[in-house]
């Protein structure tokens, strides 16, 4: 009886190790060797209130395209440039938070909140997440990191 109990505990421990340690690593694509084909996007939508509505697209070469839609300091298209180092930092952040193993949607039955949509394309494969409500804190931190590295506050006005 004791031996069966130990075997069951061992199986549970191995399953937990696989799920929390190995599974996220298996679901992530390899990091790109070159960043020129990487594309990262962030879109923040309107809410019932004063939520800025804009979209950012960051190319692997460091080109940042901003499209201000409403409730922002600057409306319309703007471009800027960030360093390849910053692009690499952003890509590393996607891997650090386990982006590729997160759910595709975080949606709850709550009204009038803004939605944040992020995506990353690596080697022609895209992972996109719609975050309305209930996402892990690390996804919210990633969204804020994209804003921070692109210095979007210059256009958004936060």
Mean residue pLDDT of the chain comes to: 89
Q: Is the pLDDT of residue 101 over 70?
A: yes
SS3 136: coil
CA distance 30 to 26: 9
pLDDT digits (tens, 9 = 90+) for 1-19: 667 756 666 566 555 555 5
- Cα torsion angle, 129, 130, 135, 137, sign: positive
Q: Is the pLDDT of residue 121 over 70?
A: yes
Residue with structure tokens 């939520």?
51
| Topology of domain 31-156, CATH | Mago nashi protein (3.30.1560)
Q: Which residues partner with 41 through β-bridges?
A: 57, 119
Higher-pLDDT residue of 27, 81: 81
pLDDT digits (tens, 9 = 90+) for 24-77: 455 677 788 788 899 999 999 999 999 999 999 999 999 999 999 999 999 999
Give me the residue spans of the domains in the chain.
1-30, 31-156
> What's the mean pLDDT in 110-128?
95
SS3 5: helix
Q: Is the pLDDT of residue 136 over 60?
A: yes
* Portion of the chain with pLDDT greater than 90, in percent: 75
């Amino acid at each position: 009886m004791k031996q069966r109990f130990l075997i069951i505990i061992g199986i549970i421990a191995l399953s937990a190790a696989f799920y929390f340690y190995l599974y996220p690593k298996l679901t992530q694509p390899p990091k790109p060797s070159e960043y020129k084909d990487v594309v990262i996007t962030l879109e923040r939508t309107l809410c019932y209130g004063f939520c800025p509505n804009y979209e950012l697209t960051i190319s692997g070469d460091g080109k940042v395209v901003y499209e201000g839609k409403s409730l922002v300091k600057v409306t319309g298209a703007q471009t800027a440039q960030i360093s390849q180092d910053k692009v690499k930092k952003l890509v590393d952040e996607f891997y650090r938070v386990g982006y590729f193993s997160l759910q595709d949607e975080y949606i709850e039955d709550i009204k009038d909140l803004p939605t944040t949509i992020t995506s990353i394309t690596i080697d022609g494969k895209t992972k996109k997440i719609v975050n309305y409500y209930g996402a892990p804190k690390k996804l919210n931190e990633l969204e804020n990191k994209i804003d921070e590295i692109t210095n979007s506050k210059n256009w958004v006005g936060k």
